[in-house]
């Protein structure tokens, strides 16, 4: 499950495949305590940025958020996401992604899959015609796409069956909060760059992604629920182990492309905000994967000499 989880939870546009991102996440009532935030404050002498680890699909009872997160949002004059709010909510973005995933070689999806995986795909399509109809896709249309696009579609649909909703994702929540409060928002990269991330996957990686996506209907619910629970608990170690460590070991090229290279590109942009004159604060909301481990943005900024503090009143220790 590591390829599926890491890809879906590290790129915000993944949740826009077929399903879309809501303009206005609905108000919901909490039925349990707020999630423990993956939130860090990075500061220099005169200003700071807050780094908040996102889960791109959430459940109604994941809201309201903790007071720590609310305070960081209140303190921030501006917001930063993986992709700008305007682009994130644009219907054109999903069209760009679908166009990138559409086959132009005259082959069908099943031609790129082994016999066993092709049979699993047929079974999944037969069992999920209703789910596909909800997003306007007939089962036979899936054969027109490359494996990465089909696997993303299947992955997101399987996660929504578990009650995880892209309309409630942390990114969508703060996009709307920014609009309501008049706080300007920007992106660390473009939608086209995130599309290229998926489109650059090797055929072997796409096949693995597809196999894991189809397996998600059998084993995935427990794995995704475990990861969601770790996010709710603010458990850095569990998220690192459950989402990234094995992927870094077994799929080093893909891990480098989706995580390390993007983190390295983001750090100078975040540094500029710290070095800008004045004392404006910024809240940065990105996929949790990007903040974890020695390759994460948190440790990369710490290594540059900035003061780094985990903001977590519910944590026994904060680092």
Indicate whether 24 pLDDT > 80: no
Check residue 182 and give left, alpha or beta (phi > 0: left; psi -120 to 50: alpha): left
**What are the strands, taking DSSP E only, across the chain?**
39-43, 48-54, 78-83, 184-189, 282-287, 307-310
Percent of the chain exceeding pLDDT 90 equals 58
CB 59 within 8 A of CB 159: no
pLDDT tens-digit profile of 117-142?
Answer: 999 999 999 999 988 888 888 889 99
CB atoms within 10 A of CB 194: 25
Q: Contacts for 150-153 with beta carbons within 8 Å, 24 or more apart?
A: 150/101, 150/109, 150/121, 150/210, 150/213, 151/4, 151/206, 151/209, 151/210, 151/212, 151/213, 152/7, 152/8, 152/14, 152/17, 152/198, 152/209, 152/213, 153/17, 153/18
Q: Residue 202 sits in which domain range?
A: 2-310
278 pLDDT tier (thresholds 50, 70, 90): confident
Q: Flag whether 20 is in a domain.
A: yes
22 pLDDT tier (thresholds 50, 70, 90): very low
Per-chain mean pLDDT for the chain: 87
Q: Flag whether 117 is in a domain.
A: yes
Q: Flag whether 152 is in a domain.
A: yes
Angle at 185 between CA 184 and CA 191, to 5 degrees: 150
Q: Flag whether 183 is in a domain.
A: yes
Q: In what order do the strands lie in the sheet with 307-310?
A: 184-189, 78-83, 282-287, 48-54, 39-43, 307-310
Q: Flag whether 318 is in a domain.
A: no
Indicate whether 319 pLDDT > 60: no
Q: Flag whether 280 is in a domain.
A: yes
- Which has the higher per-residue pLDDT, 82 or 22? 82
pLDDT tens-digit profile of 152-181?
Answer: 999 888 888 889 998 899 999 999 999 999
Q: Flag whether 316 is in a domain.
A: no
pLDDT at 18: 46
Indicate whether 40 pLDDT > 80: yes
Q: Flag whether 235 is in a domain.
A: yes
pLDDT tens-digit profile of 296-317?
Answer: 999 999 999 999 999 998 886 5
220 pLDDT tier (thresholds 50, 70, 90): low
Give the global pTM: 0.91
pLDDT at 25: 43
Interatomic CA distance for residues 136 and 74, integer angstroms: 39
Structural domains of the chain, count: 1
């Amino acid at each position: 499950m590591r390829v599926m989880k890491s890809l879906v939870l590290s790129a915000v546009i993944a949740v826009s495949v077929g399903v879309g991102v809501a303009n206005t996440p609905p108000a919901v009532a909490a039925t349990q305590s707020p999630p423990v935030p993956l939130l860090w404050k990075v500061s220099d002498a005169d200003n700071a940025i807050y780094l908040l680890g996102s889960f791109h699909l959430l459940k109604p009872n994941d809201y309201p958020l903790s007071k720590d997160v609310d305070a960081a949002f209140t303190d921030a004059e501006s917001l930063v996401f993986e992709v700008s709010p305007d682009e994130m909510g644009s219907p054109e973005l999903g069209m760009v992604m679908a166009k990138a995933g559409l086959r132009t070689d005259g082959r069908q999806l099943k031609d790129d899959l082994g016999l066993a995986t092709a049979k699993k795909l047929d079974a999944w399509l037969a069992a999920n015609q209703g789910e596909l109809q909800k997003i306007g896709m007939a089962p036979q249309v899936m054969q027109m796409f490359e494996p990465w696009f089909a696997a993303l579609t299947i992955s997101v649909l399987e996660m929504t069956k578990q009650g995880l909703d892209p309309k409630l994702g942390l990114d969508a929540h703060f996009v709307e909060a920014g609009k309501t409060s008049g706080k300007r928002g920007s992106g660390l990269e473009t939608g086209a760059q995130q599309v290229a991330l998926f489109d650059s996957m090797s055929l072997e990686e796409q096949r693995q992604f597809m196999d894991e996506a189809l397996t998600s209907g059998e084993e995935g619910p427990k794995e995704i629920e475990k990861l969601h629970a770790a996010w709710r608990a603010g458990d850095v170690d569990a998220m690192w182990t459950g989402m990234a460590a094995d992927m870094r070991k077994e799929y080093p090229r893909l891990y480098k492309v989706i995580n390390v290279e993007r983190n390295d590109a983001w750090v100078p942009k975040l540094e500029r905000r710290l070095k800008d004159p004045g004392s404006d604060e910024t809240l940065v909301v990105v996929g949790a994967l990007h903040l974890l481990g020695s390759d994460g943005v948190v440790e990369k900024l710490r290594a540059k000499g900035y003061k780094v503090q985990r903001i977590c009143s519910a944590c026994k220790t904060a680092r």
